[in-house]
Structure 1
Amino acid sequence: MKAFFHKYKHSFVLLYAFIYLPWFFWLESRANLPYHVIHVGLDDKIPFVEYFIVPYLLWFAYVAAVFLWLFFRGTKKAFYQYCIFLFTGMTLFLIISTLFPNGHLLRPTSFERHNIFTVAVQLLYQADTPTNIFPSIHVFNSIAAHRALSNDPKLGQNRLIRGGSFVLMISIILATMFLKQHSVLDVAAGILLATLMDQLVYRTDFAFSRERVSKRKRETVI
């Protein structure tokens, strides 16, 4: 373990799990308390489609796979950018859910069909409460993963991988609504927040501006 942490000094970011997970599970424990219901008219027009459980569950592997690729194969800059993107949005989500308890009443009480997909949805419903949904972290993290992959010097140049990532990202975003896991409002908020983070992390490159200034100063001195 000592050798691992010595080789991968950037693994300190894993400590964020000790902040996020206890906070998230505490929020989930308040599911029986009063909360603000998130709902817009468009939610009622979107049908329930159980087949979207597939991309919805792929989200876990998708976000983790990009994280592991950047951790072991990517540059430290790309890895830190991804972490800044993810952790900032996830922390804002925790703060919003703490100050503004929220949830929805969109889940169907019964299913028209009985198949392996509806069984998987039932298990999802049992494991995940319909609270703490604004903004959608499924949406936000999917966009974060795709943007990190697209900006990677290796993976981003592969049109097949980049295209597959885009399709998966869109499928996950749609899945949040077709599985009745999120309101359209949650999805819109997740997209808006991700768009703002994309501008900060990849457009202005704010996290590394100080590094570039220091480098220019050193070059000037030399």
Structure 2
Amino acid sequence: MKKSIQKAPYLLFLLVFPALAIVYSFLNNRSHKAFDISTSVDQVIPFLPFFIIPYIFWYVYIFMFLVYFWYKDTKVYLRTVLLIVVAELICFVIYFFFQTTVSRPIIQGDTFLQVLVQWIYENDRPYNCFPSIHVLTTFAVMLASLHIKNKHLITNLCIHVSGSLIIISTLFVKQHVILDMVGSMFLVTFLYGITFELLIFRLGEKSEPISLKNK
């Protein structure tokens, strides 16, 4: 308990995400020509309203597991926040200079799942698609979790199974296309190599457990 109280100020770094969301909202408008980068494979991916559940669960997923990282290992938590913030800032630059769009289906019906999809469509315009921030942040959490020691099997399954469902949900609810997903994963993998592997190597921490005591 005492250690958690000492680490509590680090949770304030989570406030950067509402600030990033505000920046995103300003960019989520069609200010110039938006490109459609969908492929023939995207055209055959079906629209499945059920996947709006994992898509919306993303909001809980990111917050929940960042707090979990904070509790288990502050250094992993801080590196994950840094990774996500840098990745999102790069996305914002891409959105400003290379805006893409996604063709969405017309929602016909008023079932609970269809209403949820329509709500997402109304609150997130079909721009700022490449790379996908949904995929980017989720994949960052999945990679960073590899550095959390002594995870319970159920926790590990929740991180990777729910994370995978969130990633593919972006395709099935027609919020993103395959290149959006691939671009996000490539960007995160590159930045992950810098924020985790390269920094750990340079700091000589590869053989040491990551904990507050190492500071």
Distance 1:134 1:168 in 2: 22
**For residues 80-123 of structure 1, what are the alpha-carbon distances to aligned partners after superposition, in whole Å with 9 as ceiling and x for unaligned?**
11112211111111111012122122x11233x54211111011
Distance 1:91 1:129 in 2: 19
Relative to the length of structure 1, the TM-score reads: 0.81
Q: Quickly say closer, same or farther: Cα 1:18–1:60, change in 2 above 3 A.
A: closer
Q: Distance in 1 between matches of 2:75 and 2:159?
A: 21
Which structure would you say has the larger Rg? Answer: 1
Tell me, in whole angstroms, the C-alpha distance in 2 between the residues paired with 1:117 and 1:130: 19
How far apart, in 2, do the equivalents of 1:17 and 1:43 lie?
30
Give the % identical residues: 24
TM-score (norm 2): 0.83
CA–CA distance in 1 between the matches of 2:75 and 2:43? Answer: 43
Please list, as runs of the form range in 1=range in 2, the aligned pairs for 1:62-141 lying within 5 A after superposition. 62-71=61-70, 73-105=71-103, 107-111=104-108, 114-141=110-137
Please give the alpha-carbon distance, in whole angstroms, between the structure 1 residues aligned to 2:159 and 2:7.
29
State the aligned residue count: 202
- 2:8 equivalent in structure 1: 8
RMSD between aligned alpha carbons? 2.4
Describe the shift of the 1:122–1:136 C-alpha distance in structure 2 as closer, same or farther (beyond 3 A).
same
What is the alpha-carbon distance in structure 2 between the residues aligned to residue 14 and residue 65 of structure 1? Answer: 11
Q: Deviations over 1:139-164 (max 9, x none)?
A: 11111112223321243xx2222122
Q: Kindly report structure 1 stretches of 4+ aligned residues shifted beyond 4 Å.
A: 4-7
Task: Report the Cα distance in structure 2 between the residues aligned to 1:76 and 1:165, rounded to whole angstroms.
Answer: 18
Unaligned runs of 5+ in 1: 213-222
Unmatched 5+ stretches in structure 2: 206-215
Q: Which residue of 2 aligns with 1:21?
A: 21
- The reply on whether 1:165 has 2:159 as its aligned counterpart is yes
1:13-41 deviation line (CA, Å, top 9, x unaligned): 3453475233212102x236432222211
Matching residue's letter, 1:164 = C
Kept in 2: contact 1:27–1:98 (CA 8 A) = yes
Mapped to 2, the partners of 1:9 and 1:161 lie a distance apart of 25
Alpha-carbon separation, structure 2, partners of 1:160 and 1:199: 26
Distance in 1 (alpha carbons) for counterparts of 2:182 and 2:55: 17
Q: Specify the code of the residue in structure 1 equivalent to 2:171.
A: M
